[in-house]
Structure 1
């Protein structure tokens, strides 16, 4: 299944048949045209899509960071409540790979698991995901700090 955040991010562009949109137009489609969410949630979804590298800025305009021609919005699609929950770091890595490499989430998860097995489970799953993303040619700069924080945070390590 296509990543839900990717579908939501693509919808305003598909609806307007444009490659770039202003922030206002992007959020207006999600909030008022489709009535999917309140304006403040549309802003959060925009930020989440930027953080997942699905959207980027070109000047003052939002631009998709993936091929919209490959996206088909299912009839009657509406985002679930889970879209508004924080994703884990590994979910962000999987979304990054899906968006940039044209792989589906299941294949991406399998590649990451295989990478972790190559290291005999001596590295965290997030590190294996980061290595997989890098090997597939993804720009990992935006997610590197999240992985570093997750892997080296004191909260996760036994005392």
Structure 2
């Protein structure tokens, strides 16, 4: 399972709820689980919202994926890499995994097959967007990032 999904799921699992306040989400990551600083917990929240893994509803955070499908391994502790900007393809894959409940390996296989079907004429990120669209994932928030990545000199 995607490491970032484990981190985002943990506060909900810890509180046994499907809605949690922003404060409690960040508190669980930083003080409850002792995984990160409060600043990094805020970064996780912001990234999860940007990737549409979480939605803000009033003052509560709500996962857009089934947290019951996320298994957090015993003794799990996130690595430092979750605080760095992830490559675009990893961001898209995380969104597809969250939407579909598939693991990253299956998502990668789907994307690879789609790219082959398209005759390897499109970048892997575009093939991933097609896969996401075909399985019904709303990933519209990432379109501007993909466009900026594909055409960096466009304004």
Q: TM-score normalised to the size of structure 1?
A: 0.92
- Count of aligned pairs: 154
**Is contact 1:126–1:151 with CA below 8 Å preserved after alignment?**
no
Paired position in structure 1 for 2:36:
37
> Helix, strand or coil for the counterpart of 1:154?
coil
**Is contact 2:52–2:139 with CA below 8 Å preserved after alignment?**
no
Distance 1:25 1:33 in 2: 9
Distance 2:58 2:78 in 1: 28
C-alpha offsets along residues 11-41 of structure 1, whole Å, 9 cap, x if unaligned? Answer: 1111111111111110001111111111100
**Unmatched runs of 5 consecutive residues or more in structure 1:** none
Paired position in structure 2 for 1:52:
51
Deviation of residue 72 (structure 1)?
2.1
Paired position in structure 1 for 2:142:
143
> Helix, strand or coil for the counterpart of 1:47?
helix
- Does residue 9 (structure 1) correspond to residue 8 (structure 2)? The answer is yes
Paired position in structure 1 for 2:62:
63
Query: Mapping of 1:1-159 within 5 angstroms?
Result: 2-154=1-153
C-alpha offsets along residues 63-122 of structure 1, whole Å, 9 cap, x if unaligned? Answer: 011112222221111101111111111101100110001111111111111111122221
> Helix, strand or coil for the counterpart of 1:19?
coil
Q: TM-score normalised to the size of structure 2?
A: 0.94
> Helix, strand or coil for the counterpart of 1:92?
helix
Distance 2:104 2:38 in 1: 29
For the aligned residues, what is the CA RMSD? Answer: 1.3
**Unmatched runs of 5 consecutive residues or more in structure 2:** none
Deviation of residue 52 (structure 1)?
1.9
Deviation of residue 4 (structure 1)?
0.7
Distance 1:140 1:80 in 2: 25
Distance 2:136 2:117 in 1: 19
